[in-house]
């Protein structure tokens, strides 16, 4: 039997340094694009009262929760998403901030799903929300942010597509067909599945609504008129030079009940994977989460780290951009090589001084041969090695890549000299 | 009755943007100092099999766990600390990396404690470990890193002290008194409590070991001889100019059973708070966690975000350093003010262009009066506002702090001009 203590739990990832670097690359891109758009970072707890999620979902809890009773007898849950927490937080503190709020969170979420390609039981989600602005200009701003994020991650025009839709289009359609509210909700559920489900099943589901599959497909492919909001979003993105990244696709409605207007999803151009990101307008959720205490319109989107990493790895120029960025972050700027053991105190003093100046410095902790120290310098990916011998502060600087050697004189400002070689 | 869904769970923190900025400031300092010392970041899961913690503690589980059964019937636990996970990870992958490993993790941990000042039920821990090096040079390197972190956080000489000790001193002492292994372990437990417990109780505990409180206190205050390792650490730190930050204090033994050599704790100079950080050498833990598969010496330390933030807030120059750093990170570089609504498309195009150049740009999403837009610029803490009117690309740039106005001509390179004012 395998020893379970030697493995992480199924669906939970260990980030070795090389994986953690990828994670941090993604987080840095999330933060950089959010910053450019004037968004501020917040963070909510990983554990919340289960009631919060019950409230958000309108009474029906998902089956994929990590839910348990804590030592105080509370019914608690590892967060499956962060919007419920955001609603709770805003109820407590939104008065303290001028509107609209531009807020984002990079949070780990937990869902008990069957682990498979692109699906883990924990994942990080970059959640971006714009709260307190009802106009479609906010929807466009958020979609623009998502496009800029894709570009910043190295994706080019044609690598991805934003599929844009509006739930109100379907509300109007349902009204024109004389459907009730419940029937309209059901129609949305059917449209949500129209790409994945068999024709017979769709036809059978539509029949009780008095609709045929052909007329619903017609409504998707040849809409009689787009909503004003969709037109605003399109012309707004046009002004930013982002119109080509977007296509109207009314089959996108997003499964979740709380969306109220424009919705969108990001797909790889081949649509070969599940959505990379998705979001939309949710104007009544905050009110329902807060029992009416906070009635603010909102629009948000989320992107998960697992799917976007997969897509980067499948997209050569995005992968190359990431790898170039990771390679530039050497673990170590300078490796100190001790040629004369009696000079150890000087090595330590120098290491301390250079580190305080901001350089990343390493050295062999135990006395070891010259060649072995150089090997350690290479393993630490240091571009430079400084050999400290009996003539120190005279020293010799080796450029690891070219094996070139530079003599350092006793009166040189070492930090300045090193910085030139490091181009810092 | 208060509505529980409107509150976070007791002991769990919401990080509003202003708190999240403090958290990110701490994390940035952790990462910066780790980088200078050549350490690489890794991350392990927040949930692990409970058995892992059972194994680490030698069979006795703490009472403060968030422990539950997952949907697959597994006995799992929210991590109370990360060293057990590190041991698991190293068992799986240490062969892939040259030794010694310089690794760190910034991880959230969970303990069901009574929430009070300085104690929450979740906290972040900066864990730094140096694995595969038996010599005291590694202990010194790690202690130096902890001192540099304190300095980088704005603490000055005299604000804090490293209390340095060696468990082997007590092992030798126990041997000299003819104590058994079990008695030696008990002696360590008593020494651990010597600052907190009443004299009578200490005396009573020492009696079965054939020791008096006076002779143990004598052993603490006037050690006959320091261990070779402690002397090495001291002279090593002396060479780095860090000797004054450390004092020998043999009453420090760290409660945890797995430490095997040099141990240390960081305290505020008045010792008015509990330890800010602590660590030491644990040469047999990895072997016992891996059933002997990985037998590597190791030394590590951890610092929590809650106590260090408290100490920063109590230390005026550290607080000022943090506040200066936070103030410099304006949410927004430039606010675009629309003076002529017909120019909206130009505003959007300009926003997009400047953001792609790396500037943080904001603007009012809905048409609003001139004065209100300027108010929004101030609220966004933008140092600059650019007024876009009918003459655009001629525009006027307002310096919010001084209310100075600068005319921008049509042929100016806007990004260059703005950068000058932003000193970027």
**CA–CA separation, B418 vs A94, rounded Å?**
32
Q: Is the CB of B365 less than 8 angstroms away from the CB of A108?
A: no
pLDDT of residue B185: 92
Set of chain B residues whose Cβ sits within 8 Å of the Cβ of A345: 235, 238-239
pLDDT tens profile B322-332: 999 999 887 79
The residue of chain A nearest to residue B67, with distances taken between CA atoms, is: A70
pLDDT tens profile B221-237: 998 889 999 999 999 99
Q: Where are the domains of chain A?
A: 9-324, 330-422
Query: Is B75 in CB contact (< 8 Å) with chain A?
Result: no
User: A328: Cβ–Cβ under 8 A, 6 or more apart, which residues?
Assistant: none
Please enumerate, as own/partner, the contacts of B367-375 that have beta carbons within 8 Å and a separation of 24 or more.
B367/B338, B367/B341, B370/B337, B370/B339, B373/B335, B373/B337, B373/B338, B374/B337, B374/B398
Asked if the model's pLDDT at residue A396 lies above 80, the reply is yes
Asked if the model's pLDDT at residue B280 lies above 50, the reply is yes
pLDDT band at A367 (very low <50, low <70, confident <90, very high): confident
The residue of chain A nearest to residue B21, with distances taken between CA atoms, is: A41
Asked if the model's pLDDT at residue A113 lies above 70, the reply is yes
pLDDT tens profile A172-225: 999 999 999 999 999 999 999 998 899 999 999 999 999 999 999 999 999 888
Query: Count of A–B CB contacts within 8 Å?
Result: 256
β-strands B262-268, B277-281 pairing: antiparallel
Q: Which CATH superfamily is domain B330-422 in?
A: Anticodon-binding domain (3.40.50.800)
Of A5, A15, A16, the CB nearest to B51: A5
pLDDT tens profile A63-88: 899 999 999 999 999 999 999 999 99
B8-324 is classed CATH 3.30.465.10: no
Percent of chain A with pLDDT over 70: 98
10 Å CB burial of residue B116 (0-12, 13-18, 19+) is exposed
- Nearest-CA distance A162 → chain B (Å): 17
pLDDT band at B1 (very low <50, low <70, confident <90, very high): very low
Set of chain A residues whose Cβ sits within 8 Å of the Cβ of B103: 17
- In B203-276, DSSP assigns E strands to 246-248, 262-268
Q: Is the CB of B12 less than 8 angstroms away from the CB of A45?
A: yes
pLDDT of residue B313: 96
Asked if the model's pLDDT at residue A101 lies above 70, the reply is yes
Q: Which of A24-33, A233-242, A326-335 has the lowest mean pLDDT?
A: A326-335
β-strands B122-131, B160-166 pairing: unpaired
pLDDT of residue A1: 39
pLDDT band at A2 (very low <50, low <70, confident <90, very high): very low
**CA–CA separation, A174 vs A179, rounded Å?**
5
> Which H or E element spans position B273?
none
- Say which residue, A273 or B212, is predicted with more confidence: B212
Q: For chain B, positions 153-212, list CB contacts with chain A under 8 A.
A: none
In terms of residues, how long is chain B?
Answer: 424
pLDDT of residue B2: 43
Asked if the model's pLDDT at residue B41 lies above 70, the reply is yes
Asked if the model's pLDDT at residue A59 lies above 90, the reply is no
Asked if the model's pLDDT at residue A290 lies above 70, the reply is yes
- What is the ipTM score, two decimals? 0.95
pLDDT of residue A4: 44
pTM of this structure? 0.96
**What spatial distance separates the first Cα and last Cα of chain B, rounded to whole Å?**
53
Q: Which of A367-376, B16-25, B98-107, B314-323 has the lowest mean pLDDT?
A: A367-376
pLDDT of residue B141: 98
Percent helix, strand, coil in chain A (nearest 5)?
A: 45, 20, 35
**CA–CA separation, A264 vs A246, rounded Å?**
9
In terms of residues, how long is chain A?
Answer: 424
The mean pLDDT of chain A is: 93
Classify domain A9-324 at the CATH topology level. BirA Bifunctional Protein; domain 2 (3.30.930)
Average pLDDT, integer, range B184-196: 93
- Nearest-CA distance A321 → chain B (Å): 16
Asked if the model's pLDDT at residue A410 lies above 50, the reply is yes
pLDDT tens profile A143-180: 999 999 999 999 999 999 999 999 999 999 999 999 99
Asked if the model's pLDDT at residue A13 lies above 50, the reply is yes
Question: Cis bond leading into A398, ω under 30°?
Answer: no
Question: Cis bond leading into A337, ω under 30°?
Answer: no
Query: Is B352 in CB contact (< 8 Å) with chain A?
Result: yes
Average pLDDT, integer, range B99-116: 96
Average pLDDT, integer, range A361-365: 97
Q: Is the CB of B9 less than 8 angstroms away from the CB of A356?
A: no
């Amino acid at each position: 039997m395998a020893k379970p203590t030697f493995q992480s739990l199924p669906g939970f990832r260990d980030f070795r340094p090389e994986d953690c670097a990828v994670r941090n690359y993604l987080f840095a891109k999330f933060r950089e694009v959010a910053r450019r758009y004037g968004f501020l970072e917040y963070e909510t707890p990983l554990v919340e009262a289960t009631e919060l999620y019950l409230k958000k979902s309108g009474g029906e809890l998902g089956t994929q929760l990590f839910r348990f009773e804590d030592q105080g007898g509370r019914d608690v849950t590892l967060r499956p998403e962060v919007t419920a927490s955001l609603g709770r937080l805003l109820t407590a503190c939104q008065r303290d901030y001028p509107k609209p709020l531009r807020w984002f969170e990079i949070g780990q979420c937990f869902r008990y799903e069957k682990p498979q390609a692109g699906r883990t039981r924990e994942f990080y989600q970059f959640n971006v929300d714009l709260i307190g602005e009802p106009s479609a200009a906010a929807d466009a701003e958020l979609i623009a942010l998502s496009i800029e994020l894709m570009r910043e991650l190295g994706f080019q025009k044609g690598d991805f597509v934003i599929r844009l839709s509006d739930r109100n289009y379907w509300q109007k359609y349902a009204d024109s067909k004389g459907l009730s509210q419940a029937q309209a909700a059901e129609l949305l559920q059917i449209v949500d599945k129209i790409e994945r489900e068999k024709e017979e099943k769709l036809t059978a589901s539509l029949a009780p609504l008095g609709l045929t599959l052909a007329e619903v497909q017609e409504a998707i492919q040849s809409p009689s008129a787009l909503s004003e909001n969709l037109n605003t979003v399109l012309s707004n993105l046009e002004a930013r030079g982002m119109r080509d990244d977007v296509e109207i696709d009314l089959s996108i409605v997003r499964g979740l009940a709380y969306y109220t207007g424009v919705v969108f999803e990001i797909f790889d151009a081949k649509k070969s994977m599940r959505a990379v990101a998705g979001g939309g307008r949710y104007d009544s959720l905050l009110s329902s989460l807060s029992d009416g205490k906070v009635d603010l319109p909102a629009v948000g989107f989320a992107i998960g780290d697992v799917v976007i990493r997969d897509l980067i790895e499948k997209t050569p120029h995005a992968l190359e951009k990431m790898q170039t960025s990771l390679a530039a972050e050497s673990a170590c700027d300078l490796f100190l090589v001790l040629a004369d053991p009696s000079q150890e105190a000087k090595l330590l003093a120098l290491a301390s001084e250079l580190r305080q100046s901001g350089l990343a410095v390493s050295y062999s902790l135990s006395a070891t041969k010259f060649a072995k120290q150089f090997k350690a310098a290479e393993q630490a990916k240091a571009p430079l090695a400084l050999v400290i011998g009996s003539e120190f502060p005279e020293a010799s600087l080796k450029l690891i890549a070219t094996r070139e050697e530079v003599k350092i004189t006793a009166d040189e400002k070492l930090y300045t000299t090193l910085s030139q070689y490091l181009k810092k």
